[in-house]
Amino acid sequence: MAVQGVFIAYYRVSTAKQGKSGLGLEAQREAVRAFLNGGDWTLAGEFTEVESGKRNDRPELARALQACRVYGARLVIAKLDRLSRDAHFLLGLEKAGVDFVAADMPMANRLTVGIMAMVADEERRMISARTKAALAAAKARGTKLGGNRGAVLSSSARKKGRAMQTAKARERAADLAPVLEEMRRDGTTSLRSIAAALTEKGIPTPRGHSRWTAIQVARLVAATSPTS
């Protein structure tokens, strides 16, 4: 059966290296060309997603779906089976309201994709539950999870860590500077009285505790001073 109509192609590769080299990409393009071959069709656009595997956003998919709506086109992808466990992708297709076709599964439709998405989502939850159960069992056996396992931080890593802590302290101090200024205007000036006022207002300390001390206030004041 000859393919007819306007199409937007969407390809996906998993790493930037593959995206630059064309590894896997050319095979997808060939699959789409083979599927469209012999019909009265127009390929109005092609979009390639290069992703690291850690991202859930699909900017190129969003652009491809938008192009489909603009052109009144169908989305064509090379292999739906490779994406059958990607719930985010499948749900995006199912909710977009755009017709699509997969070269390897031409009879698939929105209902098929919706079912695949639910299966993929359930599979992800089951994997998460099994991981949590395995960690709990390991902990029950006395296995040490997390924490220090003998790794020694380099001096540069410690320096970066201290720099990050200092930056966070300054950001926190900047947020609290107007509060301290208002207290001073109201006559609350001693470290002890400021600590009591901050505690009474329910403002958490930098470490998230509910009660402030004079020492913590002194550090806060030092961080807000122009010379710090």
Query: In this model, does residue 35 exceed pLDDT 70?
Result: yes
Per the domain annotation, does 136 fall within a domain? no
pLDDT value of residue 196: 92
- Bridge partners (DSSP) listed for residue 12: 49
Per the domain annotation, does 144 fall within a domain? no
Same domain, 89 and 26: yes
Per the domain annotation, does 131 fall within a domain? no
Query: In this model, does residue 47 exceed pLDDT 90?
Result: yes
pLDDT, the chain, mean: 76
pLDDT digits (tens, 9 = 90+) for 102-146: 888 777 665 666 566 566 566 666 777 778 778 877 777 777 666
* Angle (nearest 5°) at CA 165 between 161 and 171: 145
Same domain, 30 and 97: yes
Same domain, 55 and 103: yes
pLDDT value of residue 19: 47
Domain end point (choices 95, 119, 143): 119
What is the span of the domain harbouring residue 78?
Answer: 4-119
Query: In this model, does residue 68 exceed pLDDT 80?
Result: yes
Same domain, 113 and 162: no
| 18-27: Cβ within 8 A, 24+ apart | 18/50, 19/48, 19/50, 27/78
The DSSP line for 38-68 is: TSEEEEEEEEEEE--SS----HHHHHHHHHH
How many domains does the chain fold into? 2
Per the domain annotation, does 149 fall within a domain? no
pTM above 0.75, yes or no: no
Per the domain annotation, does 51 fall within a domain? yes
pLDDT value of residue 187: 92
